[in-house]
Amino acid sequence: MPRFVAAGVLALIGLTTSRPCFGQTSANQSRDRRPEAAEREIDLLKRLVKDQDRRIAELERIVRSIQSATAVSSEKPTAHELAKTIIKPAIQWQNPFAWAQIRVGQSRAQVEEILGKPTSVESVIDFQTLLYTGDVSGSGTVSGMVKLTDDRVSEIKPPSF
């Protein structure tokens, strides 16, 4: 019997000092990083949902204000009035409704009232090109162009949102 006990003790010592087997890992092996990656992705998704909730709430507030304004007056607001209500001054040109209001023959002042100041301007003799370029959420970097001849719109290329 003492031989069996000694053999058992030696077997236990051998198991504890041998390389891991059958799915066991040792301390120096790299651990699975997938749970941390999943947690980071979940945190990112939570932030995105929170941002979308904020944007939806803002849009709902705007819709309510438009509805209450139209309920007070019997006249329907023009597209330009609606666009002014919806469009934030800093990023007016990033709204497709604003681009829909640009027409050939309008002045530069009228264009800038609707789209805001261009991000850059190119001038050649009698021509000016108003460029609107920047990052738009969900579309990446987009650009649009309004060409003026003698201070009047002669060509329009809206961004592809």
Does residue 6 surpass a pLDDT of 70? no
Q: What would the two tokens of residue 153 be? A: 């719109």
What digits encode the pLDDT tens for the residues 79-106? 666 655 555 545 788 888 889 999 999 9
> What's the CA dihedral at 45, 48, 54, 59 to 10 degrees?
-120
Cβ(119)–Cβ(132) under 8 Å? yes
Does residue 132 surpass a pLDDT of 60? yes
Q: What would the two tokens of residue 106 be? A: 């309008």
Query: DSSP labels for 38-55?
Result: HHHHHHHHHHHHHHHHHH
Predicted structure pTM score? 0.46
pLDDT at 135: 81
Does residue 111 surpass a pLDDT of 90? yes
Cβ(139)–Cβ(161) under 8 Å? yes
Residue 85: what residue type? T
Q: At what angle do helices 79-86 and 34-72 cross, to 10 degrees?
A: 140
Does residue 117 surpass a pLDDT of 90? yes
Give the whole-angstrom CA distance, residue 108 versus residue 120. 13
